Chains A and B, each alone.
Chain A
Amino acid sequence: MEGMMGPMGTIGNKCPPLWSNGPDFQSIYSFPNRKSVAGSGPRKVTQSPVTTGTSTFAMKFDGGVILAADTLGSYGSMAMFTDLQRVMKVNDQTCVVAGGDIADFQFLQSVIEQKQIDEDCRDDGLSLKPAALHSWLTRVMYNRRSKFDPLWNIYLVGGMQDGEPFLGYVNLQGTAFTETLIASGLGGEMAVPVMRKAMEVKGGLLNEQEARETITKCVRLGYLRDCRAWPKYHIATITKDGVKIDGPLMIDSDWEYAKGIEGY
């Protein structure tokens, strides 16, 4: 008899817990002759990100790469974790900066860390290079996407590849490419024109100082117009001398002109 009173006082398709605050075993055991509730089951696939990081910024300069991201993990519209470091040092020639779901990033972070530890253990003088990491990351992301269970992230991989600066992008769909300047998210939409303009005016790659100023400007622009951004950020600089991660740094604001605004 379907639907009506079943064993142990079940009503319709819902089974009340056997003891107070007991588990909802609708999701654990499918009762015979009962329609299973759609979407139930402890095995779920990623459908939307939970705690997210917003924009990321990166550009090559003459002799290296600069990556930057703010320190916020947003829980929807709540600024939940204001001290996250989204810029990760992999080794002395590679860095990764991530936007999107923080849990997925932290999962991959531990995998990448372990990869690096394995490399160190091998102790053969060779280290994980940025292009290799980028390639591996692309395969991982695309594979997950093909299983309809993506790691909901956008990664920017930056580093020195055989003495030349390398900068690559991989996202949750497995889209991957390498470029001279990349910025993701809402801040990215504001940053890319600025970075492009800076390079156009210079006529080529900027030097380290100029690139750092440009990236700092971009982080500030992102903070001004993105509701999910934060004024604290990290900057990673990778050159042939190694990796330097500065931060957390603060963005300054000047609101003097607000005094002159009245009415709407």
Chain B
Amino acid sequence: METLMPKELPMPGFNFENCKRNAMLAGNGYKPPKMTKTGTTICAVVFKDGVVLGADTRSTGGDIVANKNCEKLHYMAPNIYCAGAGTAADCDKTTAMISSQLELHRLNTGRQVRVVAAQRMVKQMLFRYQGHIGTYLIMGGVDVTGPNLYEIAAHGSTSKVPFCTMGSGTLAAMSVLESHWKPEMEEEDAKQLVREAIRAGIFNDMGSGSNVDLVVIKANDNVQYLRGFDEANVKGVRRDKYSYKKGTTAVLTEKVRKIQLGSKGEGCQFVVESEEVRHVEAMDTF
């Protein structure tokens, strides 16, 4: 069968076209922009009927929070979602690129995409770039073979796991999963477990914060994207205002000046057309 795929297939070997350009720019004194990282907590578990993926929503650029409520759960296919840690742009674009290839693959084969196919494509691309693309993904989905969960690192290594965590909040979230995960959990238990794990990352890791997002994937493309599943850090409501009432400071004199721009020939001069002075009765302040 003639496929349109070959055009989408990447060239074999390493493509480092931009490295020469970057080196040239650096040599000319250009400082590369600081990458926005997602200092992150992401985790996922396999439960009885499928997979639950969770992520926090803080994106950091150095020590500053770049985005308080970003989306780290990326759509790959109707039955596959990816949680991404590492460099924000790399995660976004890698998942988007592979997602488009998966759609073509799905149309080509006429079948639901298998998670292992998505994982293969991502890993082959990342390996090609030898880790320079800072994408650390947790990929989860349900296909004909059942629930699948993979963790993919930037250098192209993968692991098939029943539960995993990634990002700077890895250890905090992993402590929760290692303590409480068991095989064949119920959906609600799995959701609460992932929520607790992300919360551990949010409150104990400086690179993670704000809210918890969840995606629950079950068989037959049954996907629930729960954005803001747990708003763990709600901004405080201001209870009072500290502005002063008009008239707190006594006004003694008021001057109103009408000002016109001078005509073009003289350059931009401000010409005072008229002035009005008003003496105001000082208010009794006692």
Cross-chain contact of B171 among A217, A225, A264 (Cβ < 8 A): A225
Q: Are A191 and B175 in contact, CB atoms less than 8 angstroms apart?
A: yes
For residue A88, CB closer than 8 A to chain B, the reply is: no
Cross-chain contact of A261 among B160, B171, B174, B176 (Cβ < 8 A): B160
Residues in chain B near residue A263, CB distance under 8 A: 116, 160
For residue A22, CB closer than 8 A to chain B, the reply is: no
Q: Are B162 and A221 in contact, CB atoms less than 8 angstroms apart?
A: no
A251-264: CB near B (< 8 Å → 1, else 0) gives 00000110011111
Instruction: Knowing A197-B200, A257-B183 are in contact, say whether A264-B160 is a contact too (CB < 8 A).
Output: yes
Q: Are A194 and B176 in contact, CB atoms less than 8 angstroms apart?
A: yes
User: How far is it, in angstroms, between the C-alpha of A189 and the C-alpha of B165 when the chains are bound?
Assistant: 14
A220-233: CB near B (< 8 Å → 1, else 0) gives 01001100000000
User: How far is it, in angstroms, between the C-alpha of A262 and the C-alpha of B145 when the chains are bound?
Assistant: 12
Cross-chain contact of B179 among A186, A189, A194, A257 (Cβ < 8 A): A194
Residues in chain B near residue A197, CB distance under 8 A: 176, 196, 200
B196-209: CB near A (< 8 Å → 1, else 0) gives 10001001100000
Q: Are A189 and B171 in contact, CB atoms less than 8 angstroms apart?
A: yes
For residue B159, CB closer than 8 A to chain A, the reply is: yes
Q: Are A264 and B179 in contact, CB atoms less than 8 angstroms apart?
A: no
Instruction: Knowing A189-B172, A193-B175, A221-B175 are in contact, say whether A261-B161 is a contact too (CB < 8 A).
Output: yes
For residue B101, CB closer than 8 A to chain A, the reply is: no
Instruction: Knowing A225-B174, A263-B116 are in contact, say whether A193-B200 is a contact too (CB < 8 A).
Output: yes
User: How far is it, in angstroms, between the C-alpha of A181 and the C-alpha of B55 when the chains are bound?
Assistant: 27
Interface of B is mostly: helix
Cross-chain contact of B172 among A190, A256, A260, A261 (Cβ < 8 A): A190
For residue B69, CB closer than 8 A to chain A, the reply is: no
User: How far is it, in angstroms, between the C-alpha of A257 and the C-alpha of B172 when the chains are bound?
Assistant: 22
User: How far is it, in angstroms, between the C-alpha of A63 and the C-alpha of B176 when the chains are bound?
Assistant: 27
B34-73: CB near A (< 8 Å → 1, else 0) gives 0000000000000000000000000000000000000000
Q: Are B204 and A225 in contact, CB atoms less than 8 angstroms apart?
A: no
User: How far is it, in angstroms, between the C-alpha of A192 and the C-alpha of B175 when the chains are bound?
Assistant: 9
Residues in chain B near residue A257, CB distance under 8 A: 162, 183
For residue A144, CB closer than 8 A to chain B, the reply is: no
Interface residues of B, count at CB 8 A:
18
Cross-chain contact of A193 among B116, B161, B176 (Cβ < 8 A): B176
Interface size class of A (residues with CB under 8 A): 20 to 34
Q: Give B161's nearest chain A residue, CB to CB.
A: A261
Instruction: Knowing A186-B171, A221-B175 are in contact, say whether A193-B204 is a contact too (CB < 8 A).
Output: yes
Q: Are B160 and A193 in contact, CB atoms less than 8 angstroms apart?
A: no
Residues in chain B near residue A256, CB distance under 8 A: 183
Residues in chain B near residue A145, CB distance under 8 A: none
Q: Give B116's nearest chain A residue, CB to CB.
A: A263
Residues in chain A near residue B178, CB distance under 8 A: 190, 221, 224-225
Cross-chain contact of A260 among B162, B175, B176, B179 (Cβ < 8 A): B162
Residues in chain B near residue A264, CB distance under 8 A: 158-160
> Which residues of chain A (176-191) have a CB below 8 Å from chain B?
186, 189-191
Q: How far is the CB of B174 from chain A (nearest CB, A)?
A: 6
Cross-chain contact of A190 among B116, B162, B175, B196 (Cβ < 8 A): B175
> Which residues of chain A (205-227) have a CB below 8 Å from chain B?
217, 221, 224-225
Q: Are B171 and A190 in contact, CB atoms less than 8 angstroms apart?
A: yes
Q: Are B204 and A196 in contact, CB atoms less than 8 angstroms apart?
A: yes
Q: Are A260 and B171 in contact, CB atoms less than 8 angstroms apart?
A: no
Q: How far is the CB of B189 from chain A (nearest CB, A)?
A: 16
Q: Give A197's nearest chain B residue, CB to CB.
A: B200
Residues in chain B near residue A190, CB distance under 8 A: 171-172, 174-175, 178
Q: How far is the CB of B112 from chain A (nearest CB, A)?
A: 18
Q: How far is the CB of B92 from chain A (nearest CB, A)?
A: 25
Residues in chain B near residue A225, CB distance under 8 A: 171, 174, 178
Q: Give A188's nearest chain B residue, CB to CB.
A: B171
User: How far is it, in angstroms, between the C-alpha of A115 and the C-alpha of B279 when the chains are bound?
Assistant: 84
Residues in chain A near residue B200, CB distance under 8 A: 193-194, 197
Q: How far is the CB of B121 from chain A (nearest CB, A)?
A: 15
Residues in chain A near residue B196, CB distance under 8 A: 197
Q: Are B162 and A261 in contact, CB atoms less than 8 angstroms apart?
A: yes
Q: Give A217's nearest chain B residue, CB to CB.
A: B179
User: How far is it, in angstroms, between the C-alpha of A257 and the C-alpha of B183 when the chains are bound?
Assistant: 7
Residues in chain B near residue A193, CB distance under 8 A: 172, 175-176, 200, 203-204
Can you sample 5 A-B contacts with CB below 8 Å? A193-B176, A221-B178, A225-B174, A260-B162, A263-B116
Q: Besides the contacts A194-B200, A196-B204, A261-B162, what 10 more A-B pairs have beta carbons closer than 8 Å?
A: A192-B172, A192-B204, A193-B172, A194-B175, A194-B179, A197-B200, A217-B179, A221-B178, A257-B183, A261-B160
Question: 7 nearest interchain CB pairs?
Answer: A190-B175, A189-B171, A193-B200, A193-B204, A193-B172, A190-B171, A194-B175
Residue numbers of B with Cβ under 8 A of A are 116, 158-162, 171-172, 174-176, 178-179, 183, 196, 200, 203-204
